[in-house]
Amino acid sequence: MKRLFNQRQTSIISAAFIIMVTYGLSSLLGLLRNRLLATFFFGEKVWQLDVYFASFVIPDAVFQLLVTGALSAAFMPVFSKYYRQKADRGWELAAAAINVLLLFFLGLSLLVFIFARPLSQLVAVGYSASQVELMTQLTRIMLFAQLFFAVSSFFTGILQTHQRFIIPAIAPIFYNLGIIGGTVLLTPRWQIYGPAAGVVFGAFLHFFIQLPFVYQLGFKYRLLFDFKHPGIKEMRRLMLPRTLALAVGQIENFLAVLLTAGLSAGSLSIFKFAKQLYLLPITLFGVTFAQAAFPTLTYQAAGKEMGQFKRTFCRSLRQIAFFSLPASVMILVLRIPLVRLAFGAKQFPWKATLLTGRILAILSLSIVAQAINQLLIRTFYALHNTKAPFLISFLSAILNVGISIILVKVFNFGVLGLAWAICLTGIFQLGLLVLFLRRRLLDLRGRGLVFSLLKMVLAAGLTAVCLWLPMRLIDRFVVDTTRISGLVFLAVVVSFIGTSVYLLTARILKIKEVEMVGRLFKRLLRFRTSMATKVVVEEASGLPPSTVS
């Protein structure tokens, strides 16, 4: 088992598969987590659930600005370069980066802790005095969770740079287990503070599960504060545009709290529930393939291997589109059954189910765009270009704010206005990212890529028809969908039909990625015979030799 966890994934597909499976399990636990929250708090206590979700905004913003900006745009490319030169230089940079970022993070967190009340009043305009008081206390609790995340995120970056994807992908599972434990065990006595305590415990588990594996790779913590380290200077240069882009991106979270404060109780919670289902395929297929491709893209860009770089990029983009297109169609067609399965507790009313389904339908229209955006943004980072993503994020944020305010405040769309803003902004962002990237890379093998994507769209369109008809027939004539067993039967059968139609159509249209699915299943069958066997489907060229046993 230990050997399995330390196993190096030497292809993008094998790495993406590992991340996908574990993220899928984590997402299922996330759905269970929110179903439990709906069970305990929907009804008279739903305002507490709104405040609970709102209390994540400020701590998340601090984390995103300092830690995520450093990691996604700066740490991994710079660490990879230093480690490639000499392992000791890489570990020295890692220790210095963790200490420097942690110092700034602690300082900013202390300010947020002290001024939590006025900050909560600023974010949650329209909240009552009791809601602001609760948000203040929960915000302070959430800061402790972000402290653990600040360190564990660096561990994730180190492990992924060494192409160890299993443990970083398992860590979110423990995070969700912590919240579930806090919700189930502590809510009867502590009310909404129970899930908040679970967040802190889950963040600790996220940190703790990665710690021994990072040390096994050779990392040794050192109390090193070298602000003038060349690697730190390079990280600072790279992370500044990314941090500004993330600051702009946080506007969406602030806006959701601000605009839902004047709506009916539970609006923010319903929006968060719908968004969780919407993010599921983006995480499974966009984030996984983008994360798996990022170390390879970074290595190839550092070695000026631009031919290989373009092939890796195009292959990863096709793979993301191949999986995310049918997923978006399934979510659009099966939105109501999915909402009922995910959140349909007795306390979750039918009216809330319908509203969640409508929000999900709107958001599903941009799933493919948002999934591909995950790869495009990391492609820019691999090229050490963080300015273009910042500019695009800034323009997208302006569009998001404008659409949200107009639709919610002027046309009274309610939370549906927020959904439309996210949908249109995601598509707009995709267009700009592609435009800027074509200018940087020039030839992206455009004709072949576009033709492959058009064939996938055609297959997904046929799948949508073959999903809707069986769903209607089964719902009316076969099973009682007021029962959980009936909903499960409908979702499983219809999803199986849709998946079969999509794969068959893809095979007829000779879409290359369908062969990858067949090879993947064959490797899975072999994997069952030996835990040490790697899941290797498509070898990624240009990877550095392993320096760790």
Averaged over 220-247, what is the pLDDT? 82
| Contact indicator for 298, 458 with CB cutoff of 8 Å | no
Query: Is the pLDDT assigned to residue 12 strictly greater than 80?
Result: no
Q: Which of 88-92, 163-167, 411-415 has the lowest mean pLDDT?
A: 163-167
Q: Which of 538, 539, 531, 541 is nearest to 517 (CA)?
A: 538
Query: Is the pLDDT assigned to residue 548 strictly greater than 60?
Result: no
From the centroid of its chain, how far is CA 515? 27
Q: What is the pLDDT of residues 159-189, one digit of tens each?
A: 988 878 788 889 999 999 999 999 999 999 9
The whole-chain average pLDDT of the chain stands at 87
Q: Give the amino acid at 178.
A: G
Rounded Cα distance, 79 and 214, in Å: 14
| Contact indicator for 180, 29 with CB cutoff of 8 Å | yes
Query: Is the pLDDT assigned to residue 540 strictly greater than 60?
Result: no
Rounded Cα distance, 463 and 502, in Å: 6
Averaged over 519-544, what is the pLDDT? 46
- Classify residue 284 by its DSSP letter: I
| Contact indicator for 338, 492 with CB cutoff of 8 Å | no
Q: How many residues does the chain have?
A: 549
Residue-range domain boundaries for the chain: 2-444
Rounded Cα distance, 457 and 464, in Å: 11
- Classify residue 414 by its DSSP letter: T
443 or 500, which is more confident: 500
Residue 144: the pLDDT is 96
What six digits make up the tokens of 138? 């929960």
Query: Is the pLDDT assigned to residue 1 strictly greater than 60?
Result: no
Q: Which of 93-97, 151-155, 185-189 has the highest mean predicted lDDT (pLDDT)?
A: 185-189
Query: Is the pLDDT assigned to residue 458 strictly greater than 60?
Result: yes
Q: How confident is the model at residue 409 (pLDDT cuts 50, 70, 90)?
A: very high
66 or 492, which is more confident: 492
Query: Is the pLDDT assigned to residue 537 strictly greater than 60?
Result: no
Q: Which of 63, 42, 237 is nearest to 152 (CA)?
A: 63
Residue 163: the pLDDT is 77
- Vertex 30 angle, CA 126 and 481, to 5°: 95
Percent of the chain with pLDDT over 70: 89
Q: What is the pLDDT of residues 262-317, one digit of tens each?
A: 899 899 999 999 999 999 999 999 998 998 898 889 888 877 888 888 889 999 99
338 or 245, which is more confident: 338
What six digits make up the tokens of 204? 């600790």
What angle do helix axes 335-343 and 267-281 make, rounded to 10 degrees?
A: 110
Which residue's structure tokens are 């943004």?
Answer: 377
H or E stretch including 219?
A: none
Q: How confident is the model at residue 506 (pLDDT cuts 50, 70, 90)?
A: very high
Rounded Cα distance, 504 and 494, in Å: 15
Q: What is the pLDDT of residues 331-372, one digit of tens each?
A: 999 999 999 999 976 778 899 999 999 999 999 999 999 999
Residue 443: the pLDDT is 57
Residue 169: the pLDDT is 82
Q: How confident is the model at residue 541 (pLDDT cuts 50, 70, 90)?
A: very low
Residue 534: the pLDDT is 40
Q: How confident is the model at residue 73 (pLDDT cuts 50, 70, 90)?
A: low
Which residue's structure tokens are 């770089």?
Answer: 309
Residue 531: the pLDDT is 38
Averaged over 444-450, what is the pLDDT? 69
pTM tops 0.75: yes
418 or 521, which is more confident: 418
